[in-house]
Structure 1
């Protein structure tokens, strides 16, 4: 059984290890540390299996800037699962629970830079289909958005800007 709960301070070392091992480098763990300090509001959840923290997901504010307005949304990432627990549905549970938490705090737009084969199962579509583009030069199919309330992006378009800490990843 997998339990998804909010991250606690005592989880920080394990979350760091999970990100280091899942990504094979410290960049994402450093990003989580930086975002915890300066990105508000944020959502940070952990997955517990057999009393061990085995996965982590983070959502932080992003801005959607257009000529006439700035809209706040949330960016999903990083999301990581210990390698020995991957392909067991833990990442999917983290994403589903995380998206529900985004809705609970009234954030109905979530963007992700991620695997185009993975995220569509959670309602993500290429952001370009909704008039959004990333501040980063990334493949169109890898930059996706989920409207947690259908039509919330209708008539909107803009440039999505991430927290400055993402520039170091």
Structure 2
């Protein structure tokens, strides 16, 4: 297995992995593959933060972090979305490895924080906490415990608060 940066040659395969990963998810609109396609063409795209998981030469997983902004000061953060693993390979730790690697790369690139909309029992194991604890709010109605943030640098969010502004690709 290996985790590496996605290349242009991977785009179609990655979109297929994403589509298959979300096809049976009840809380999905099944358009995550289109979101990634749009983000690749946006100013929020960071090539080094689109990672694939290869197993025996086959791409079976993908994770993406893109730029987002917090509050009227537009403090830079990263949005973690989506995390995708082919159904046959789910529940084997691939998503966990992809998330950990993406957070490591983001920290090496000197980003200060990451936001995520996700399951309250899953993301805290990576160090995510309720975004509201830092005065950070989603730009849409969502249960408080589902919108989380992780500081990659200590005190990065000490003087940051407000509503998150995602890429227009997110449709918000």
Q: TM-score, normalised by structure 1?
A: 0.93
- Separation in structure 2 between the aligned mates of residue 9 and residue 157 of structure 1, nearest angstrom: 36
- Separation in structure 1 between the aligned mates of residue 44 and residue 79 of structure 2, nearest angstrom: 12
Within 5 Å, which residues of 2 pair with 1:65-76? 65-66=71-72, 69-76=73-80
Contact kept in structure 1, 2:44 and 2:67, CA below 8 Å: yes
Gaps of 5+ in 1: none
Within 5 Å, which residues of 2 pair with 1:24-43? 24=23, 26-42=30-46, 43=49
Match of 2:26 in 1: none
Match of 2:51 in 1: 45
- Separation in structure 2 between the aligned mates of residue 40 and residue 132 of structure 1, nearest angstrom: 19
Instruction: Give SS of 2:41's match.
Output: helix
1:64 to 61, 64, 70: 70
- Separation in structure 2 between the aligned mates of residue 111 and residue 145 of structure 1, nearest angstrom: 4
- The aligned length equals 165
Q: Which runs of 4+ in 1 moved over 6 A?
A: none
- Separation in structure 2 between the aligned mates of residue 151 and residue 71 of structure 1, nearest angstrom: 13
Instruction: Give SS of 1:116's match.
Output: coil
Within 5 Å, which residues of 2 pair with 1:115-134? 115-134=119-138
Gaps of 5+ in 2: 24-28
Match of 2:12 in 1: 13
Deviation at 1:14, TM superposition (A): 1.3
- Separation in structure 2 between the aligned mates of residue 40 and residue 124 of structure 1, nearest angstrom: 22
Deviation at 1:39, TM superposition (A): 3.2
- Separation in structure 2 between the aligned mates of residue 58 and residue 155 of structure 1, nearest angstrom: 26
Deviation at 1:41, TM superposition (A): 4.0
Deviations 1:88-122 (A, max 9, x none): 11000100000011111111110001111111111
Instruction: Give SS of 2:156's match.
Output: coil
Match of 1:111 in 2: 115
Deviation at 1:130, TM superposition (A): 1.2
